[in-house]
Structure 1
Amino acid sequence: MRNVEEVVISLEEMEALRLFDIEQMSQGAAAEKMGISHSTFHRLINKAHQKVAAALWQGKALTIEGGSYRLDHPHKNELRHFICKQCSREWDVLHGAGQSGMDMQCPNCESRDIMRQG
């Protein structure tokens, strides 16, 4: 495989292929999911289809690299529940808020002796 020519496809193009061809979303829904305009999605999916077809037709390897992207947190919009062992204060924190639980402190007494519930 080292001597096989490559066709480079970006991560955005791969995501466009996944949403449109595998998940079978409309271009509008896929564009919204990716947070891009419909025309940008249209350009991405056309370019991705062209690259995949060229790789298949010409016997080239597909290489996935680069791009500009952000990963969604798998537990987006879910809450984590915490309890302070010092003052018994309870509170919730949104998953993906950048706090691991290990670096948290009680919003009431500022104790770091907290535990996660559920």
Structure 2
Amino acid sequence: MPRPRKWRKVCSLPGSTRFGPLNTPIDHEHYVIMTVDEYETIRLIDLEGFTQEECSKQMNIARTTVQGIYNDARKKIAESLVKGKILRIEGGDYKLCDGIEKPCMGGFRRHRCRRGFLEDNHF
């Protein structure tokens, strides 16, 4: 029996779930599917500037797992750009965080996750 997959904590869902060229036919062979947890690693590492270790703590998974998810996500973005495929974000093994403030990165900083920030500021 395989080991059950661990849920990845995600604090921000994408505002749009489909990106890509406007002139691409809408059929399954012109799509690249990115999971929500892959999207979260891209958001945390490339946009928010987290290290892979910080990202792993935020998502509550191992750093090596983050590294694999991140590499898969970047390949999918590259395939979408280079081959002109539509990138769809959907699915994955994730749970949306509750947005409650907690210690981060060894307790030196305190922050609210993006979900808590967005809800507090009504974005």
What is the TM-score when the length of structure 2 is the normalising length? Answer: 0.58
Q: How does 1:65-104 map to 2 (within 5 A)?
A: 65-74=90-99, 76=100
Aligned to 2:74: 49
Tell me the matched-pair count: 77
Aligned to 2:8: none
1:9 aligns with 2:57: no
1:15-58 Cα distance to aligned partner (Å, 9 max, x none): 00000000010000001100010100000000000000111000
Please tell me whether Structure 1 or Structure 2 has the larger radius of gyration of its CA atoms. Answer: 1
What is the TM-score when the length of structure 1 is the normalising length? Answer: 0.61
The two structures, once aligned, show a CA RMSD in angstroms of 1.7
1:82-101 Cα distance to aligned partner (Å, 9 max, x none): xxxxxxxxxxxxxxxxxxxx
1:57-103 Cα distance to aligned partner (Å, 9 max, x none): 000000111111111123x259xxxxxxxxxxxxxxxxxxxxxxxxx
Distance 1:27 1:77, change over 3 A: closer
Specify the SS of the correspondent of 1:24.
Answer: coil
Query: Which structure has more helix as a fraction of its residues?
Result: 2
Gaps of 5+ in 1: 79-118
Ranked by relative contact order (alpha carbons within 8 Å, sequence separation 6 or more), the top structure is 2
1:29 aligns with 2:54: yes
